[in-house]
Amino acid sequence: MRVGIREAKSRLSELIEAALAGVDVVITRHGKPLIRLVPEGQSRDKRKGRGCLKDIVLPAGWDSTLLDEEIAAQFEDLSPRSGQNSR
């Protein structure tokens, strides 16, 4: 979400809540990004890539182990069953 400085002044509480909920909040001046609101304790490096990945922003919860378990379960479903031919 991009918000101009004047609008940000009147909606600061709302913007803080949005940032805490994982919304990417950028405050702009004349359409140019100035400030990104990031919750305290959340390093910018964890949310944003480096080098060629620098413009990729990861959503909150991107490192959740739940997804890993779902992926592992899908691979288990694809593995050959014991006693069956693999051809």
Q: pLDDT band at residue 10, thresholds of 50, 70 and 90?
A: very high
The CATH number assigned to the domain holding 66 equals 3.40.1620.10
Distance, CA of 11 to CA of 6 (rounded, Å)? 9
For 31-77, the pLDDT digits (tens) are 999 999 988 877 555 555 566 767 777 777 667 666 677 777 777 77
Q: Of 1, 7, 41, 33, which is closest to residue 19 (Cα–Cα)? A: 1
Residue 83 lies in a domain: no
Total domains in the fold of the chain? 1
